[in-house]
Structure 1
Amino acid sequence: MPGNAQLLLLDRDALAAIMTTDMVSRAVYDAFTLHGQRQGRVFPVVREALKTGGIFGIKSGDVAARALLGFKAAGFWPRNRELGGEPHQATITLFDPMTGRPSCIMDGNAITTARTAAAGELGLRVLARADSTSLCVFGTGVQARAQLSAALRALPSLRMVRYVSHDGKPDTSFENHFNSLCRPTLAADANAAVADSDVVITATPGGGPLFSLEAVRPGTHFNCIGADTRGKRELPEGLLDLCRLVADDHEQATSLGEAQWSPSVPHMELGHIVTGKSEFIRHTDDVTVFDMTGLALQDLVVGEYLYDAACHAGLGRLIPWPW
């Protein structure tokens, strides 16, 4: 009854106790399937710069058949590093679509990292060459680490891993994190690293092209994460014109992603490929790009899985929320 309504709060530690890689992978595949079948809606994204120096955004959507409604409020506050904190901040809220009442508020930081990595893994499984042996990752931060971990799961044939750091110097923390898995080495020359790689992952703040067009070789696949706001990019001019482009969402990619720089270039959506609505056959020399802007449905479906798991396990904090 309205007077007895409660709201579940799930903080970082509660989520850590129930969130697994397998759960997130299943939820993200579920989200792309819903999107490809147009059973889930993605509402227009809010993404705005703040006078504080941060960027604030809202991604929202619903799945009527599953009584799923909600949003993620998230953004990037670079000054958090000075406080010893994470610059990416996110909070997810789920609502009862029948009443509009909130049912759960959860920390979205780890969810965002995990669901983005799961999307990258799915993109590699569907789009990259299965026999890929070499990879270059741009960035050494939280998302770069998550994407490289996902790539090692998706492509067990990987043998050579190079990374490009923001200052061109070795990142011992990054190297130590992966030494037992792949022993990544610093790339002294970004163009040479791209030219020698079967897979390239760009996980940077999206401040501009990271390599030259001339470095791109036939057969290379690119997972692009950093372009998620108007004006951001990581790929060089002309690359989208010669590649086979796949986006997570048409509208978001052409307004916020790499596709904003070449909006007329034809592309498919990953959800249409995984549901069979679009046929994708990779040829050996194809250059492929997965333009990842991040779907609200990824956040909401992962949030739904976690909410159900928390309720089943009795985790989190219930607080009165009468109306």
Structure 2
Amino acid sequence: MPIVMAAAGQVRAHLDYPTCIGLMRQAMIRLSLGETRQLPRQILRLDNGMLGVMPGAIGPADAFGLKVVSVYPGNFAKGLPSHQGMIMLFEPEHGVPIALVDAGEVTRIRTASASAAATDALARQDARVLAVLGYGEQAEAHIAAIRQVRPIERVLVWGRNAAKCTRFAGHVGMTGIACEVAATPAEAAASADIICTVTGASEPVLSGADVRPGTHVNLVGSSHAGPAEADNALVAGSRYFVDSREAVLAQGAEYLRARDAGLIDETHILGEIGEVFGGSVPGRTNPADVTIYKSLGQIIQDLASAWHVYSCLSAAAETSLAGTVTAQ
């Protein structure tokens, strides 16, 4: 069986945001129901970045596989993706390898789509103003994905480099939405209904004192224990939801900091987002709630996305082959 190769352009062609948002909902429901299997990510620290290895299986009738990805945060400034690697898929019946899919493009799309799915479940219905802390590739992807679930009228963006932030805002503005540069994270948060943190910050950039009641926050930038984007007050004062309880208890930096400070315990994690999607755990209960979705990223999200791309390419190849046979 030939291995299907899916480059970044093919991923983009077959994995649009509306499709991927739906895939993320279903994948996270399955995770919370215990239908999926995955091991904790393994991270090897490098001089300029890191190497991550993540194996998992969506379910008995679907593909299993692993993602191997390098993460070089400085790449974006050089016009290169920060995440580069491959997702290898195996078919479930005989364990035959069937596909290699560009991991950087899948990661870019599915990370933002997972946040958008969580936003749809947790943000107020009347949310119109989006604040984004960070100006890298995930900032752009999050703006595009969040616009699929809420009619965003205004975007505020903050980043440490004012010139880069201004260029980013201008680029976003070309897509037809008003985008303004905020001088500080507090200024960005002051009028926001939804906040996405997609930074490489080692210490919190978003404070609980800066977030107004009723805001929904997606914490995305920190994917392992150590660097944190939100302070303890914001975590402790929120209705706190996670992609994976097990993963956040081990690697959720913001949660671990607030817990170690004695402000919260495990009961502060109200549920996994898959439980909210499935209806077994309530999300927002009051218009004034501050809700948080902590995203670490799960391999089943990558596998669900890569399996979809593989299925589309396989179907297209079969159609093309059938047409060739008919023509002969």
Please, what TM-score do these two structures have when normalized by structure 2? Answer: 0.87
Q: Contact 2:90/2:96 (CA < 8 Å) preserved in 1?
A: yes
Aligned ranges 1:236-315 → 2 under 5 Å:
236-257=231-252, 258-263=254-259, 264-265=265-266, 266-267=268-269, 268-314=271-317
Change (3 A) 1:189 1:260: same
Q: Contact 1:71/1:92 (CA < 8 Å) preserved in 2?
A: yes
What CA deviation, in whole Å up to 9, does each residue of 1:269-321 have, x standing for no partner? 00011112222343011111100111111111111111111111129xxxxxx
* Residue equivalent to 1:71: 66
Q: Which residue, 157, 173, 181 being the options, matches 2:176? A: 181
Q: Contact 2:130/2:195 (CA < 8 Å) preserved in 1?
A: yes
Q: Does 1:103 align with 2:106?
A: no
Q: Does 1:57 align with 2:49?
A: no
What CA deviation, in whole Å up to 9, does each residue of 1:42-86 have, x standing for no partner? 221112312x32211122211333232111112312454586422
- Supply the AA of the counterpart residue of 1:34: R
The higher-RCO structure (CA 8 Å, 6+ apart) is: 1
* Residue equivalent to 1:320: none
Unaligned segments of structure 2, at least 5 residues: 260-264, 319-328
Aligned ranges 1:27-42 → 2 under 5 Å:
27-42=23-38
- Supply the AA of the counterpart residue of 1:166: R
Q: Contact 2:17/2:145 (CA < 8 Å) preserved in 1?
A: no
What CA deviation, in whole Å up to 9, does each residue of 1:246-279 have, x standing for no partner? 0000121222223232352521100011112222
Aligned ranges 1:1-323 → 2 under 5 Å:
5-50=1-46, 52-78=47-73, 80=75, 84-156=79-151, 158-169=152-163, 170-257=165-252, 258-263=254-259, 264-265=265-266, 266-267=268-269, 268-314=271-317
Q: Contact 2:17/2:148 (CA < 8 Å) preserved in 1?
A: no
Using the TM superposition, name which of 65-74 and 238-247 deviates more: 65-74
Please, what TM-score do these two structures have when normalized by structure 1? Answer: 0.88
Tell me the secondary structure at the aligned position of residue 56 of structure 2.
strand
Give 1:125 shift: 0.6
